[in-house]
Amino acid sequence: MAFGVIIMLALALAFVLFFNRSQQKLLQEKNHSQALKLAHQQELLNSILFTQENERKRIAKDLHDDIGSKLNVALLHMHRLRKFREEPEKFGQTIGEINQMLHTTVDTTRRISHELLPPTLENFGLEQAIKELSESYEQSGMLAIEFKANTDGRRLPSQMAELNLFRVIQELIKNSVKHGEAQKIRIQLDFLASHLSLQYQDDGKGFEPNKVEKKGLGLNNLESRVNMIGGQMQLQSTLGQGVEVSIQAPIER
């Protein structure tokens, strides 16, 4: 009987030890999973902040280089007017130069404000904004953009989501022109039952994704923008065969 009790106690102890070890293992796996999740969230947050900082730097540069320099020139012309008060011809010429400079500054200000939040995007939605962007490239003769949409006039409920997707398209086109030297781009936008599908393809030089610095192409920023709206982005590229990008994002967020 004593031997049987010892065996039962040993089995009970073994069970307790096994249970404790299993619990510790589960807890370690849970902590590891949470750590990975937190690391991913931190990486996403850092990428978002990096994107915002780049936007601020670009805007500051435009304000300083374009508007600031033009206003300085206009100010110099104003000082010239004092010298030409007794010379009507030069006075009138300087007034004309100031007028032209101010008109140019107004146009530059309008361009910068449009880049921050395009009026077409705000008033008519993502489809019309992409269409307008495509037509502007077509008219410039830089490249051909074939844009097709199947949205039935629907819009995303979030203007921020539309803006992020629009910025993604802008960045993809910029990369196609600057890095891929593309001549033609195809964009397809479809609104499905519960999500939207955005397909992008160019005929540029392409690249090997595993051998390219994502930061250099702004790919981390693109992924951050898509993640911000709860979407997913897949990119495929091969040297000499262009770039293909597929984005799936929920319509209701």
Distance, CA of 193 to CA of 182 (rounded, Å): 33
Asked if residue 141 and residue 93 are part of one domain, the reply reads: no
Asked if residue 240 and residue 131 are part of one domain, the reply reads: yes
Minimal CA–CA distance to 59: which of 119, 51, 229? 51
Asked if residue 137 and residue 89 are part of one domain, the reply reads: no
Convert the pLDDT of each residue in 126-180 to its tens digit: 999 999 989 888 887 878 999 999 998 888 888 889 989 999 999 999 899 988 8
Q: How many domains does the chain have?
A: 2
pLDDT reported for residue 81? 78
In this structure, what are the phi and psi dihedrals at residue 202, rounded to the nearest 5 degrees?
A: -125, 165
Asked if residue 168 and residue 229 are part of one domain, the reply reads: yes
Asked if residue 145 and residue 108 are part of one domain, the reply reads: no
Asked if residue 245 and residue 193 are part of one domain, the reply reads: yes
Asked if residue 9 and residue 76 are part of one domain, the reply reads: yes
Asked if residue 13 and residue 110 are part of one domain, the reply reads: yes
pLDDT reported for residue 87? 81
- Check: pTM over 0.75? Answer yes or no: no
Asked if residue 194 and residue 93 are part of one domain, the reply reads: no
How many helices, marked H, and strands, marked E, lie in the chain?
Answer: 8, 5
pLDDT under 70: residue ranges of the chain: 1-3, 5, 47-48, 51-52, 114-115, 212-217, 253
CA distances (Å), origin 247, targets 13, 165, 218: 55, 9, 16
pLDDT reported for residue 216? 54
Asked if residue 150 and residue 85 are part of one domain, the reply reads: no
Give residue 194's domain range: 125-250
Number of CB atoms found within 10 A of residue 183's CB: 13
Asked if residue 112 and residue 134 are part of one domain, the reply reads: no
